A and B are shown apart, each in its own frame.
Chain A
Amino acid sequence: MRGAEERMSTRIAYFPGCSLEGTAQEYNLSLQAIAPKLGLELEELEDWNCCGSTAAHTLNHKLAVSLPARILALAERGGYSSLVAPCAACSHRLLATRMALANNAGLRKEVQDIIEMPYKGTVEVKNILQVLMELGPDKIAAACSRKMTGLRIASYYGCLLVRPPKVVQFDDPEAPQSMDTIIKALGGTPVEWGFKTECCGGGFSMSRTDMVCKMTRDILDNAAFEGAEAFAVACPMCQSNLDLRQLNVNQRYGTAFKLPALYITQWIGLCMGLPARDLGLGGNYVDTGDAVAKAFAVPPEKKPPALSAAGAAVKA
């Protein structure tokens, strides 16, 4: 039995990046919780460094490619063929670096000197959605113990998960579907809405809160109008703006949005019947209790203890 499991599992280098250790701890928690059940063997890279994110590539091109190159070189050294970076900014920087180095032998040499490591470009970079879509919605559903009962969930991809198309080469850059198909497989009702890839304001959350509030308001407004009851996200920045800034939006615009934004990994974990605290559900600013309770409102034959625990934990 164990042997079979081992054969099924896929060894992937795991690069959490800074956000999954900070504001997006629940993304990390929930991913770690569901990975074994999906046969994903995530092995955190040793001695990983910052991807450089927006800060590096707006200031210094060499730094912006050297930081991610070192991460990829570490994965190469570890013998991995693929690497998963759950944060959309991280995966974007890693992908852009991979592309820049593949197309420029001179830069490749220079970067290898900078990071003092060999770099071949053999490691494939994936975001969570890609990894999940490669498993397939059916396999994910099969690993779950219960299905949602039609909660209307708006999948929000933001700007970087599927764009720029030439770099990411995944899903439709303007009308993505991957997260929606997973939500559907989990028993949720994917909401057809117009703001799937609209910008949330990203990193301007701190410096231009006013602007981010307006952009987030528009996103919340469209989702609510189309009848969404919650979000599914796969980017820490998106989650933070939709969730944390939702409170500011309500204050600023006198609205009463109550749309919890859960990571896709959290939705999967809930369907696997995992306890809410293992999925980091308590970390949300917008109350998740009602949405989660409604998601599984018609109790399955054998009511798993996880649901009551989740409801209780959040309500308390």
Chain B
Amino acid sequence: MARIGVFICHCGENIGRTVDCAAVAAAAAKFPGVVHAADYRYMCSDPGQNLIRQAIKEKKLTGVVVAACSPRMHEPTFRRATAESGVNPFLCEMANIREHCSWVHEDRPEATRKAIDLVRVIVEKVKRNLPLLPVKVPITRRALVIGGGIAGIQAALDIANGGHEVILVEKDPSVGGHMAQLSETFPTLDCSQCILTPRMVEVAQHPRIKLYAYSEVDSVKGFIGNFEVSIRRKATSVNNTLCTGCGACQQACPAKKIPSEFNRGLGTRTAIYSPFPQAIPNKPVIDQANCARYKDAAKRGIPPAESKVCGLCQKKCPIQPKPAVDFTLCKDTFVTEKVGAIVVATGFDVLPPKEFGEYGYGKYADMIDSLQFERLASASGPTQGAMKRPSDGKEPKEIVFIQCVGSRDNARGCPYCSKICCMYTAKHTMLYRHKVHDGKATVFYMDVRAAGKNYDEFWRRAVEEDGAQYLRGRVSKVYKRGDKLVVKGVDTLSGELVEIRADMVVLATAAVAQPGAEQLAQRLNIAYDMYKYYSEAHPKLRPVETNTAGVFLAGACQAPKDIPDAVAQASAAASKVQGLFSSQELERDPTIAHVNEALCAACWYCVDVCPYSAIEKKEIKDKKGNLIRMVASVNEGVCQGCGLCAATCRSKSVELDGFKDEQVYAEIVAL
């Protein structure tokens, strides 16, 4: 005979405001099989959990129903409390009277009535619950880190230093990400390259890190502890074991006018290139779209190795007679890696400023975006750090910086704050004034958001010590007059229209998700928000986890972030991975499907609907080994307990543990 305890939570006022919790407890006490019913203000707190533990002991409960919030957050809490008192945790269930009741209703008597119904339903289910034992699965204690920017580098190093192998996948020819493009960093003005490049070297030399540069994640199979990842290694046309990274091929290449992605179009590169001199790995790749040999081969439909066009890179390669440049390496290859956890650190992009017709970006050479300004200011940039404007190479004597270009702008689809622009714009004014002492830097801003350690002091320094002029207001238009860019804006503090004749204009364009972020999310089966930033499992309490177990987030792929935040999140993700790897086996939710082989009609509908490929076709043989028939069989390690097979099965031969037909019918009947 069932002895069920019912515990009604007020959730502070969240439930208690609309639901009469005491009345629900009183009603529940009268349900058949219920021997104990109580209500409490915070059931998830320690005194609340004690109520459950105590009742289990005193009333010898066989099942527990907690009527509170959604099971998403606190089901594990209450199941743990139940287990501690010696009752199988799967005999504890939650009735959701917050999201499904108090939050969506206003009428108190009606809401109370509904809460009573919801509790009755779960009581009927729990009466029929069976104890379940956790499934144990072995863990592959290797991690995959996707993205080789500062977040990915940090996560990879932390995990590797913790003693586990790491596969680091980077889509570009070099690791480093956006941080490698920066000149100096706020709020200390230390050189970005000087603090980043040693980390890059460490990644390349670490015995436990396997780096796949110029590669992308092609597909992901499996589940926490047991992922199988297929990685596309883009064709480089260079044999990396032979190549010494001498650079002779890049000097020989005649295609010299390709806009350099690393310099954001302010400089050029060759068709065989490595993005910057400090690249890791320092091995060039051939950009097939711009290589004369590849273009000729494509036109004539022959393998590039057979084309006779150009080939100067190969001829000038000092490794002879078998040069490192190898045109037979012209096709992408795939490798498969088994890992137990995945850290996604794919970073961000910036909004293409061509969207801003009123500023005329793209029309005026001296209107650049902030990332281009970083390249201009960088010692490794196209001007070796000298302040020269792109149009005529003259030193700009007056620069206007426009903040919130796209950010906080509903019309451009980015209503969010990009977070980093206030600080880097303050930094830009300082870098500029340190190089051009008589230069004038004017910033148009909406608000200065400098929340962070030493951040407010930093931007105040830009104003007070380096003389940046901050005008609170928007710019309506920028147009060219002669060799000047005329910036028309408003200073809302003085209420005056402002017109500035600038030599250069810098747009702080919004940070946006990486192109392709959506596709990668679909491959990883993780959620993303409406701006295609990846969603964390809980905005406050689970900031580095995703809703897919075993997949973690680091850096700006989740939301715009500065370097300290990206690094902190990367270390947090790494510690989560190491926590997961601290045991040999993983306990998995035993809510999995089982096939009643006697009933299975082998229609294979379940095989078709299973999103995890967890159902196999099993042969049933007689004693002599003759095949009698085929049946469906669930791989317990792969099954995620979604229940699609159980709902699809026509002969009712598949059932989900914890959600058997009998239990579900009992719930429906109780309504």
Which residues of chain A have a CB within 8 Å of any CB of chain B?
172-175, 192-195, 198, 222, 225
Residues of A within 8 A of B479 (CB): 193-195, 222
Residues of A within 8 A of B363 (CB): 175, 192
B350-361, CB under 8 A of A: which get 1 and which 0? 000000111010
Binds A, one of B130-138, B480-488, B592-600: B480-488
Residues of B within 8 A of A193 (CB): 479
B338-380, CB under 8 A of A: which get 1 and which 0? 0000000000000000001110100100000000000000000
- Chain B min CB distance to A137 (Å): 21
- B357 and A175: CB pair below 8 A? yes
- Chain A min CB distance to B505 (Å): 13
Instruction: Give the complex CA separation of A131 and B327 in angstroms.
Output: 53
B470-498, CB under 8 A of A: which get 1 and which 0? 00000001111110001000000000000
- Chain B min CB distance to A220 (Å): 14
Instruction: Give the complex CA separation of A192 and B362 in angstroms.
Output: 13
Given A175-B363, A192-B363, A198-B477, 9 more A-B residue pairs with CB atoms under 8 Å apart are A173-B357, A174-B356, A174-B358, A175-B358, A192-B480, A194-B477, A194-B486, A195-B479, A225-B481
11 contacts across the A-B interface (CB closer than 8 A): A174-B357, A175-B357, A175-B363, A193-B479, A194-B360, A194-B477, A194-B478, A194-B480, A194-B481, A198-B477, A222-B479
Q: Considering the complex, give the chain A residue whose CB is closest to the CB of B485.
A: A194
Residues of B within 8 A of A192 (CB): 363, 480
Instruction: Give the complex CA separation of A175 and B479 in angstroms.
Output: 11
Residues of B within 8 A of A174 (CB): 356-358
Residues of B within 8 A of A225 (CB): 481-482
Residues of A within 8 A of B480 (CB): 192, 194
- A222 and B357: CB pair below 8 A? no
Instruction: Give the complex CA separation of A173 and B476 in angstroms.
Output: 13
Q: Considering the complex, give the chain B residue whose CB is closest to the CB of A165.
A: B411
Instruction: Give the complex CA separation of A303 and B358 in angstroms.
Output: 42
Residues of B within 8 A of A173 (CB): 357
Residues of B within 8 A of A198 (CB): 477
Residues of A within 8 A of B481 (CB): 194, 222, 225
Residues of B within 8 A of A175 (CB): 357-358, 360, 363
Closest 4 CB pairs of A and B: A194-B479, A174-B357, A175-B357, A174-B358
Q: Looking at chain A's contact residues, is the secondary structure mostly helix, strand, loop, or mixed?
A: loop
Instruction: Give the complex CA separation of A175 and B477 in angstroms.
Output: 11
- B357 and A172: CB pair below 8 A? yes
- Chain A min CB distance to B477 (Å): 7
Instruction: Give the complex CA separation of A175 and B358 in angstroms.
Output: 7
- Chain A min CB distance to B391 (Å): 14
Residues of B within 8 A of A222 (CB): 479, 481
- Chain B min CB distance to A218 (Å): 10
Instruction: Give the complex CA separation of A193 and B480 in angstroms.
Output: 7
Residues of A within 8 A of B486 (CB): 194
Q: Considering the complex, give the chain A residue whose CB is closest to the CB of B354.
A: A175
Instruction: Give the complex CA separation of A180 and B86 in angstroms.
Output: 81
Residues of A within 8 A of B478 (CB): 194
- Chain A min CB distance to B181 (Å): 28
Instruction: Give the complex CA separation of A166 and B427 in angstroms.
Output: 37
- Chain B min CB distance to A196 (Å): 9
- Chain A min CB distance to B585 (Å): 58
- Chain B min CB distance to A237 (Å): 20
In the complex, chain B residues 220-265 whose Cβ is within 8 Å of any chain A Cβ:
none
Instruction: Give the complex CA separation of A225 and B358 in angstroms.
Output: 19
Instruction: Give the complex CA separation of A289 and B482 in angstroms.
Output: 29
Instruction: Give the complex CA separation of A193 and B357 in angstroms.
Output: 13
Most interface-central of A173, A194, A198, A225 (chain B CB within 10 A): A194
In the complex, chain B residues 405-432 whose Cβ is within 8 Å of any chain A Cβ:
none
Residues of A within 8 A of B482 (CB): 225
Instruction: Give the complex CA separation of A294 and B482 in angstroms.
Output: 25
- Chain A min CB distance to B320 (Å): 53
- Chain B min CB distance to A201 (Å): 15
Residues of A within 8 A of B356 (CB): 174
B373-397, CB under 8 A of A: which get 1 and which 0? 0000000000000000000000000
Instruction: Give the complex CA separation of A195 and B360 in angstroms.
Output: 11
Instruction: Give the complex CA separation of A172 and B482 in angstroms.
Output: 24
- Chain B min CB distance to A146 (Å): 31
- Chain B min CB distance to A174 (Å): 3
Instruction: Give the complex CA separation of A174 and B479 in angstroms.
Output: 11
Instruction: Give the complex CA separation of A195 and B356 in angstroms.
Output: 15
In the complex, chain B residues 642-661 whose Cβ is within 8 Å of any chain A Cβ:
none
Instruction: Give the complex CA separation of A27 and B39 in angstroms.
Output: 80
Instruction: Give the complex CA separation of A172 and B357 in angstroms.
Output: 8
- Chain B min CB distance to A167 (Å): 14
In the complex, chain B residues 182-211 whose Cβ is within 8 Å of any chain A Cβ:
none
Instruction: Give the complex CA separation of A250 and B91 in angstroms.
Output: 90
Q: Considering the complex, give the chain B residue whose CB is closest to the CB of A195.
A: B479
Instruction: Give the complex CA separation of A225 and B479 in angstroms.
Output: 12
- Chain A min CB distance to B365 (Å): 13
- Chain B min CB distance to A162 (Å): 10
Residues of A within 8 A of B360 (CB): 175, 194
Instruction: Give the complex CA separation of A194 and B486 in angstroms.
Output: 9
Instruction: Give the complex CA separation of A198 and B478 in angstroms.
Output: 12
Q: Considering the complex, give the chain A residue whose CB is closest to the CB of B360.
A: A175
In the complex, chain B residues 433-482 whose Cβ is within 8 Å of any chain A Cβ:
477-482
Q: Considering the complex, give the chain A residue whose CB is closest to the CB of B411.
A: A165
- Chain B min CB distance to A170 (Å): 14
Q: Considering the complex, give the chain A residue whose CB is closest to the CB of B479.
A: A194
B50-80, CB under 8 A of A: which get 1 and which 0? 0000000000000000000000000000000
B38-57, CB under 8 A of A: which get 1 and which 0? 00000000000000000000
